[in-house]
Amino acid sequence: MPLLGHSIIAGEDVEGHAGSAFAQAPATSTALEPAFTLLDEAQVADAVGTAAAAFADYRATSPVARAAFLEAVAEEIEADGGEIVQRAVLESGLTTARLTGELARTCGQLRMFAAVVRRADHRGVRVDPALPDRAPLPRPDLRVRQVPLGPVVVFGASNFPLAFSTAGGDTASALAAGCPVVVKAHPAHPGTSELVARAVARASARTGMPPGVFSLVHGAGTEVGRQLVTDPRVKAVGFTGSRAGGLALVAAAAARAEPIPVYAEMSSVNPVVILPGALSGAAGVVTALAAGYLASLTGSAGQLCTKPGLLFLPAGPIGDAFVAGIAATQTGMPGTTMLTSGIRAAYDRGVGRLARSAGVSTVATGTNGGGANAPASVVASTDLATFGADPELADEVFGAAGLVVRYDPAGAEGVDRLRDTLAGLEGQLTATLRLDPASEDDLRIARILLPALEDRAGRVLVNGWPTGVEVTHAMVHGGPFPATSDSRTTSVGSLAIERFQRPVCYQDLPDALLPEDLRSDNPWDVPRSIDGARP
Amino acid sequence: MPLLGHSIIAGEDVEGHAGSAFAQAPATSTALEPAFTLLDEAQVADAVGTAAAAFADYRATSPVARAAFLEAVAEEIEADGGEIVQRAVLESGLTTARLTGELARTCGQLRMFAAVVRRADHRGVRVDPALPDRAPLPRPDLRVRQVPLGPVVVFGASNFPLAFSTAGGDTASALAAGCPVVVKAHPAHPGTSELVARAVARASARTGMPPGVFSLVHGAGTEVGRQLVTDPRVKAVGFTGSRAGGLALVAAAAARAEPIPVYAEMSSVNPVVILPGALSGAAGVVTALAAGYLASLTGSAGQLCTKPGLLFLPAGPIGDAFVAGIAATQTGMPGTTMLTSGIRAAYDRGVGRLARSAGVSTVATGTNGGGANAPASVVASTDLATFGADPELADEVFGAAGLVVRYDPAGAEGVDRLRDTLAGLEGQLTATLRLDPASEDDLRIARILLPALEDRAGRVLVNGWPTGVEVTHAMVHGGPFPATSDSRTTSVGSLAIERFQRPVCYQDLPDALLPEDLRSDNPWDVPRSIDGARP
């Protein structure tokens, strides 16, 4: 069906009363039809109202029914997959290949959460049976389970129009936990959002969910976001975006009469440390390493949360070969279209700041790509002392820009300085070591650096690149502040469901009053521990 | 050994440089020897420094070593048990029986966490093995574990000199998670704190822990608390106390350059709803129910977080019998000593406010007890309409004061009004239903009320009283704001350990670099799931 420029509230099309806006095609800097009407305050409140009204019924859905809903969402998205990807290409400037992969990831993620819901481990059921004969006092029967927090607001992310937006990871994990979701559509891809929202609404209708389980709202400016976060019926927030945006939401949520958790994934420069062993061996090894770095740096125009923005490289000839490899690969490499002209302008400012910094020199640049917003990639270089003296050099430049920091790998002092520099970084999503696992010297240095990296990051890699986040049970896409606002959680992988739950204990409830997942006959076959042990 | 009035920093006695203070015996309003010297800013910073320095070694301790430390703490506390209880009686005014029980609970809690540490389930290990042949790209090896956050500050609680103070639940769970702890001694029981801190220090020394794993600091006023919470080396805070105190710490932590979690357990009135069936049957049943209520209300002078401050009772003759039962039991019942003269004064103000409230009448009062600070207990009464119109009536009065709210149990409208009133309460630690499980009518009403109670509380009880919190695997001592600052957690029971951890994912680390709990040969025998499933 054609795009109508509507919000979708509890399965119904809603025309907004607060004006309208067009998406912009970043490749051409032109407006894309149709106009999207924007909701006014009362309409946004209505959307939250439908979510609040749906909560009681939705939270009570059985594992089977809730899982079927999530799987239906995946099916309905796939049914419109071609159209969704086509519109997302126009709105985001990302390639068809990237967005096709992102759509598959989005649907895979929904199915993973369906499997998690069916397995029901996340309900965290623990039973401590009554001890009626315990002296001096009998022990009551105690049962705990995790219950959903309530309606959740999700903000679409500019850089993942599918996997971190309308039916992305935050939405999938909140729905899996039993929370209705209101998505604030990202203004850069409203059409993609509408198409995906229609798929969710169809899935909801055909699996018999309460309609308010999902809504998509188009709204102007930051005021609608603020309204959503401060609505007392909203109980948690998921956000992926800028540090300023995330911190504003965190502050608004903390100032509520009842504060609520905000899971904001904000900024990260994802340090990579190349140890000497990784640069030894055949010349081709170093060239391939440099090419791998550039691919990770420039993929999706460098607009990935896990882009390796900071690379620590041995000083001296051994590192020079890597720098030469960068220059050889990067020179002439065309830039690719960025998400919006605003993001492109911010990239230009970031690159300009880097270029003007004392003690920083340019290693290589690519060339401008075709279209309106495809700036050249940039790799700059400095040394550890300069880096340590200028905190701004550790700031994220969103886009295909990287900073190489040369360190002295010789002797204990050089390694200790490197470790101290890493330990002094802000919180990161990832930290990576490139090393030769057969080199005792690399392993020795790695053991010195690893505690600092683990302390500063949510994911530690050896011999990979941080971009390309697997959606699995062991994944952590999170990390200490300001990588995220809550280091205790992840926004990717099955652990993400825990963000939207809280424990409730039931003491001495008769079976007639216990919820299904705690009843003695365990009708939903939910895994449970007894007295702290798995049977 | 005699009390020296010292802080204990990393196992060493430290005399404070910022003056001194005496504990006050609340029973007599007189000072207790000796003077406790107070630390100045540099000394407090030193204590945090020792915790930060101990973190790397302490977090690396094996499950066996860490569990042995926790068990040694229990043993050392028991070794000085008589002396500790004796001092705690003097400082708190609580009875020997209560404090003997609290000491046993404190040690039981430490041993439970030792068992949790040995079992190592809390490390949350999940492995997603590599899929080298996956198309289009191989999957890396991914392993996640929970790591400790870092140094934790624990504030001693006035109302639990043992179980929520120096070596209480927050300290035990933080130590179990692998976090060094700095305890801010509560000024109302500094001697108890010193004795327990010496026991912890002995246990630490004899089990070979890094000395900075534990410190106890005596400090003046709120400034030392603020310093501790805002020290950048501190990574989490545990607090049990007043709403104002808790919110101040939450705000200070949120304003840090790197915000940190504060687990503040603040205020709760623990609604109890008596359904008609609970009042039917022999006259003795109602009298016993009223006596049970009063015992829960007045135990420990009403100074328990889970005291049933609010009781909803059917209007009409059936409820009148319960009120008569209260009056019969309570009249002449002597008050018991409160924790401090300040707490007693706040109780007097709260009771005065209740007495002056329009539409509230006194059901019964006890009499003043012996000593300086043993005011009479008070039970007041009002109706649902008055209660709904005056939000202050739902505020906690810390001490042996209760409010009975009469509701109309007849017809759907009356029950709906009750449900709406319960749904409108602030977040609570507990919510209780008293009912006849054989009464279909009680079960019907219970099913209407339970969703509201579950939504507002961390623990829901049937036919018990909320005081008397079991320390088990299924316990939740937490709840929506303002019962706690973070409803996703509990401060009692083995789940409390999760407050002090965050997940870290390890991608493709060779066994030579993996921590023990993730290594392929699993030397610590830590439970792990594979691809999301338990083997």
Q: Output the CA–CA distances (angstroms, integers) from residue B175 to A454, B55, B180, B186, B238, in the order listed.
A: 19, 11, 6, 19, 12
CA dist., res. A491 & res. A473, Å (int): 12
Q: Do A142 and B475 touch (CB under 8 A)?
A: yes
pLDDT at B95: 97
Residue of A149, A487, A534 lying closest to B502 (CB–CB): A487
pLDDT, tens digit, for every residue of B289-340?
999 999 999 999 999 999 999 999 999 999 999 999 999 999 999 999 999 9
Tokens 């506390």 locate to: B77
Q: Do B147 and A507 touch (CB under 8 A)?
A: no
CA dist., res. B441 & res. A366, Å (int): 76
Kindly list the residues from chain A whose CB atom is less than 8 angstroms away from the CB atom of residue B116.
Answer: 532
pLDDT at B277: 97
CB pairs under 8 A between A and B: 205
Beta bridge partners of A264: A239
Which DSSP helix (H) or strand (E) runs through A12? strand A12-14
Distance from CA of A35 to the nearest CA of B (A): 38
**Helix (H, G, I), strand (E, B), or coil: what is residue A21?**
strand
- Shortest CA distance to B377 belongs to which of B296, B301, B268, B287? B301
- Bond into A34 cis (ω within 30): yes
Residue of B147, B149, B534 lying closest to A454 (CB–CB): B147
Residues B169, B172, B176: CA angle, nearest 5 degrees:
135
Provide the H-helix boundaries in A41-189: 41-59, 63-79, 81-92, 96-119, 169-177
CA dist., res. A466 & res. A486, Å (int): 20
List the catalytic residue out of A71, A102, A194, A305: A305
Q: At what angle are helices B221-230 and B243-254 packed, to 10 degrees?
A: 40
b vs e for A289-315, b when ≥16 Cβ sit within 10 Å of the residue's Cβ? Answer: bbebbbebbbbbbbbbbbbbbbbbbbb
Distance from CA of B367 to the nearest CA of A (A): 29
B258 interfacial to chain A (CB closer than 8 Å): yes
pLDDT at A37: 98
Nearest residue of A to residue B136, measured between CA atoms: A101
Distance from CA of B27 to the nearest CA of A (A): 28
CA dist., res. B401 & res. B387, Å (int): 16
Q: Quote the strand ranges of A113-186, DSSP E.
A: 125-128, 142-148, 152-155, 181-184
Residue A76 annotated as catalytic: no
Distance from CA of B78 to the nearest CA of A (A): 19
- Shortest CA distance to A422 belongs to which of A243, A265, A267, A270? A270
pLDDT at B521: 97
- Shortest CA distance to B500 belongs to which of B326, B215, B263? B263
Nearest residue of B to residue A458, measured between CA atoms: B504
Nearest residue of B to residue A122, measured between CA atoms: B532
* B window 91-120, beta carbon within 8 A of A: 115-116, 119
Distance from CA of B4 to the nearest CA of A (A): 36
Distance from CA of A462 to the nearest CA of B (A): 5
Return phi, psi of residue A203, to 5°. -60, -40
**Amino acid at position A526, single letter:** V
Mutate: best of B57, B260, B428, B472, partner A, most A CBs <10 A: B472
pLDDT, tens digit, for every residue of B356-388?
999 999 999 999 999 999 999 999 999 999 999
B53 interfacial to chain A (CB closer than 8 Å): no
Tokens 């970043």 locate to: A26
A292 interfacial to chain B (CB closer than 8 Å): no
Mutate: best of A105, A504, A509, A534, partner B, most B CBs <10 A: A504
CA dist., res. B8 & res. B1, Å (int): 14
Residue spans of chain A under pLDDT 70: none
- Chain centre distance of CA B175: 16
Whether the CB-CB separation of B202 and B13 falls below 8 Å is answered with no
- Shortest CA distance to A251 belongs to which of A241, A269, A264? A264
Q: Do B142 and A472 touch (CB under 8 A)?
A: yes
Please give the positions of B annotated as active site. 265, 305
Kindly list the residues from chain B whose CB atom is less than 8 angstroms away from the CB atom of residue A130.
Answer: none
* A window 408-427, beta carbon within 8 A of B: 426-427
pLDDT at A377: 98
* A window 466-505, beta carbon within 8 A of B: 468, 470, 472-476, 478, 480-482, 485-490, 494-495, 501-505
pLDDT at B228: 98
Kindly list the residues from chain B whose CB atom is less than 8 angstroms away from the CB atom of residue A534.
Answer: 527, 534
The pair of structure tokens assigned to A197 is 């929202």
Q: Do A504 and B119 touch (CB under 8 A)?
A: no
Tokens 């009356």 locate to: B414
- Shortest CA distance to B306 belongs to which of B269, B345, B347, B360? B269
Which DSSP helix (H) or strand (E) runs through B459? strand B457-462
Residue of A119, A427, A458 lying closest to B505 (CB–CB): A458
Alpha-carbon torsion (A207, A210, A212, A213), positive or negative: negative
Residue spans of chain B under pLDDT 50: none
Cβ within 8 Å of residue A24, ≥6 positions away: A30, A31, A32, A188, A340, A341
Kindly list the residues from chain B whose CB atom is less than 8 angstroms away from the CB atom of residue A486.
Answer: 261
Laid out side by side, the sheet with A236-240 consists of A12-14, A7-9, A214-217, A181-184, A152-155, A236-240, A262-265
DSSP structure string for A369-388: -SSSS-PPPEEEEEEHHHHH
**Helix (H, G, I), strand (E, B), or coil: what is residue A93?**
coil
Q: Is the ipTM of this complex over 0.90?
A: yes
